[in-house]
Amino acid sequence: MNELSIEEAQKKVDEWIKTIGVRYFNELTNLGILMEEVGELSRLMVRTYGEQSFKESDKNKALADEMADVLWVLICLANQTGVNLTEAFQQNLQKKSSRDANRHLDNEKLKSD
């Protein structure tokens, strides 16, 4: 499969919504859908890596698919609100890199024994 940049993903989602999806749900509906998708991801993570056992309805779920659902709706919200996720991510990475330059290195809780 070809690599896909964040910018290309935003364009592909927009094209899909406008052709197959008919139109975007409104922003508040998509926010609710995002919360649902994060909940589904959380449920699967808890059952896969946590202490809860799987229910029958959880057994055929794929972690990658649940993460992709979260990403899809986040991209929808970015498109609707005019956010360029490539620029936003680059700025966020720069912010974290300068703000947290030594924070984690100096965190005793993160140091190995």
Domains and CATH numbers, the chain: 6-85 (1.10.287.1080)
| Structure tokens given for 63 | 């972690």
| Torsion, Cα of 22, 13, 27, 57 (10° steps) | 90
| Structure tokens given for 2 | 């070809």
In the predicted structure, residue 39 carries a pLDDT above the cut 90: yes
In the predicted structure, residue 113 carries a pLDDT above the cut 70: no
Please report the pLDDT score of residue 30 as a whole number.
98
Nearest residue to 48 (alpha-carbon basis) of 36, 73, 66, 71: 66
Q: 48: pLDDT confidence band, cut at 50, 70 and 90? A: very high
- The CA–CA distances, whole Å, from 43 to 47, 65, 74 equal 6, 13, 19
Question: Rounded to two decimals, what is the model's pTM?
Answer: 0.87
Please report the pLDDT score of residue 17 as a whole number.
97
- φ/ψ region of 16 (left if φ > 0, alpha if ψ in -120 to 50, else beta) reads alpha
